[in-house]
């Protein structure tokens, strides 16, 4: 059986852009659990971004998506690792 973290990762890898609330409803959990699992995935090295989206009615929602880090982000990570 897939864990919530795996379900989130698979959904994002499939190109979906989903809010914490949508994930929570889909997987029968809380938004706090979704946020914690996304934080876990980020700590494992996945580039998961949260982008503010506005729908046709003007409502704003943060949606998660998986992406590729910029060169500056990678350079900053190496700088931190080199400082240790």
For residue range 3-12, list pLDDT tens digits in order: 999 999 999 9
Number of domains in the chain: 1
CB atoms within 10 A of CB 20: 22
Structure pTM?
Answer: 0.83
pLDDT per residue as tens digits for the range 18-69: 999 999 999 999 999 999 999 999 999 899 999 999 999 999 999 999 999 8
Helix (H) or strand (E) holding 63: strand 60-66
For position 30, which CATH number holds?
Answer: 1.10.10.10
* Structural domain boundaries, residue 67: 4-83
Phi first, then psi, for residue 60 (nearest 5°) are -105, 140
Give dist(CA 27, CA 50) in Å, integer. 19
Residue of 58, 62, 60, 54 lying closest to 34 (CA atoms): 62
């Amino acid at each position: 059986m897939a864990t919530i973290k795996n379900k989130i990762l698979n959904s994002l890898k499939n190109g979906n852009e989903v809010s914490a609330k949508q994930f929570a409803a889909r997987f029968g959990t809380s938004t706090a659990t979704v946020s914690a699992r996304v934080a876990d995935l980020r700590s494992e090295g996945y580039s998961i971004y949260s982008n503010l989206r506005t729908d046709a009615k003007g409502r704003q929602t943060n949606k998660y998506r998986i992406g590729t880090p910029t060169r500056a982000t990678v350079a900053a990570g190496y700088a931190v690792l080199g400082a240790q």
